[in-house]
């Protein structure tokens, strides 16, 4: 059975800290790994990773995929209170009946205190 | 990126009743999905909404409980039938075009009392 596991499940930091969120996966026919930020209801897209070792960056956020270790990390530097959210990792599979379906991890609840 | 309008945004319903959630996309999309997020949990796929044919349900979800329609490539509905408090969740529609990222509607927060 496909599995996506995130750690830690929750994290409390102060503004300015740097955080690293982890995601590991066991899926068949892996195509890509995606990171989302969920503040209220709708997850908003952060990154999609398909190739190992290539860092994707957007402002203070960055992410990288390690296909050998079947894992990914999401880094947030100089955290702000607006970064407080649930961060979701999901895996997309290629082909067959799983085409387009995402399997999500449990999420990491990040709380940033002023 | 697709713009998705989902409604209602939230609702409080009596047990035993049904609620239909609508999802409208601003462009034609191949794949539409419905997810559920129970309190404190992550997203779980309910079904794939297929245009012109019956939806494809994931293990643990059945058509009688969650009937889905998809009359065209821009619109879908999910009905939560004969609701119980255990159905209290956020319901999300999602669209995907090929190997791109998935986009989500604003979500419907359902509370069953």
- Residue B14: Cβ-neighbour burial (10 angstroms; 0-12, 13-18, 19+): exposed
Contact between B80 and B18 under an 8 Å Cβ cutoff? The reply is yes
Residue A109 and residue B4: Cα distance in Å, rounded? 25
The percent of residues above 90 in pLDDT, for chain B, comes to: 83
Whether residue A5 lies within 8 A of chain B, CB to CB, comes out as no
Query: CA-to-CA distance for B67 and B86, rounded, in angstroms?
Result: 17
Interchain contact, B96 vs A40, CB within 8 Å: no
Contact A41 B96 (CB under 8 A): no
Q: Is B90 exposed, middle or buried (0-12, 13-18, 19+ CB in 10 A)?
A: buried
Looking at residue B84, what is its pLDDT? 97
Q: pLDDT tens digits, chain A, 114 residues: what are they?
A: 889 999 999 999 999 999 999 999 998 889 999 999 999 889 999 999 998 999 999 999 999 999 999 999 999 999 999 999 999 999 998 876 667 789 999 999 999 999
* Token pair in block for residue B11: 């609702």
What's the pLDDT at B104? 95
Partner-chain residue, chosen from B90, B100, B103, that has the shortest CB–CB distance to A41: B90
Q: For residue range B44-58, what is the model confidence (pLDDT) as tens digits?
A: 999 999 888 899 999
Q: What's the pLDDT score for residue A96? A: 66
Mean pLDDT of all residues in B8-12: 98
Token representation of residue A103: 């399997």
Q: To 5 degrees, how large is the angle CA B33–CA B4–CA B55?
A: 20
Q: Concatenated DSSP letters for chain B?
A: ---EEEE-SEEEE-TT--EEEEEEESS--SEEEEEEE-TT--EEEEEEE-TTS--EEPTT--TTTS-EEEEETTEEEEEE-S--GGG-EEEEEEEE-TTS--EE---EEEEE-
Determine whether the interchain pair B102/A107 forms a contact, defined as Cβ–Cβ distance below 8 Å. Answer: no
List residues in chain B touching A: CB distance below 8 A: 30-31, 33, 41-45, 48, 56, 90, 92, 94, 96, 99-109
Looking up tokens 């940033």 gives A112
């Amino acid at each position: 059975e496909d599995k996506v596991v995130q750690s830690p499940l929750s994290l409390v930091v102060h503004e300015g800290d740097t955080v690293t969120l982890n995601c590991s996966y066991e899926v068949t026919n892996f195509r890509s790994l995606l990171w989302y930020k969920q503040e209220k209801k709708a997850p908003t897209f952060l990154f999609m990773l398909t190739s190992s070792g290539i860092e994707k960056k957007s402002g203070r956020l960055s992410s990288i995929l390690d296909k050998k270790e079947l894992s990914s990390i999401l880094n947030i530097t100089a955290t702000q209170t607006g970064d407080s959210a649930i961060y979701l990792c999901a895996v997309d599979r290629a082909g067959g009946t799983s085409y387009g379906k995402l399997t999500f991890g449990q999420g990491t609840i990040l709380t940033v205190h002023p | 990126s697709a713009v998705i309008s989902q409604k209602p945004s939230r609702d409080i319903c009596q047990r035993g009743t049904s609620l239909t959630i609508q999802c409208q996309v601003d462009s034609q999309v191949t794949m539409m999905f419905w997810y559920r997020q129970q309190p404190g949990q992550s997203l779980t796929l309910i079904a794939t909404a297929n245009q012109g044919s019956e939806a494809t349900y994931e293990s643990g979800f059945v058509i009688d409980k969650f009937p889905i329609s998809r009359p065209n490539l821009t619109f879908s509905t999910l009905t939560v039938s004969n609701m119980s408090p255990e159905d209290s969740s956020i319901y999300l529609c999602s669209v995907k075009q090929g190997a791109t990222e998935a986009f989500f509607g604003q979500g419907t927060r359902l509370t069953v009392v």
